[in-house]
Amino acid sequence: MKPGKTGLARIIAAGGYSLQGLKSAYRHEAAFRQECWLVAVLLPVALIWSPGLVETLLLIGSLMLIPIVELLNSALEAVVDRIGPEHHELSGRAKDMGSAAVLLTMLLMGLVWGLVLLDALCVG
């Protein structure tokens, strides 16, 4: 292990690094900003409208997965770009796969929200 902070000091430092990452993503990544606004709009909708606790968890969980996966995709893209600006098949593949992960997460969110809404309309 590398020397460094331990215990509570490590946890506090890790929290600071996480906040730095969120700020950096918001500042430099347009897609992340848009997804944050999506969360800001739909989170209250999930809390107010959802018919039950399980449905609320499904709505919020599927919604929060989008910025989480976007953060991972942005980190992957940053590392690939750090390696070099020239086009490489593997770099392109890595970026495309990261983008596909975001797309699948958005499709999952849409499916969850659609099914919860459909269930509420059919039962309610």
The pTM of the full predicted model, rounded to 2 decimals, is 0.89
Asked if the model's pLDDT at residue 10 lies above 70, the reply is yes
49 closest CA partner among 59, 37, 63? 59
Q: Is residue 2 predicted with pLDDT exceeding 80?
A: no
Beta-carbon neighbour count of residue 108 at 10 Å? 15
**Residue closest to 76 by CA, chosen among 64, 61, 91:** 91
Q: Is 77 a catalytic residue?
A: no
Of the residues 70, 77, 86, 89, only one is catalytic, namely 70
| pLDDT value at residue 1 | 59
Residues 92-114: tens digit of each pLDDT = 999 999 999 999 999 999 999 99
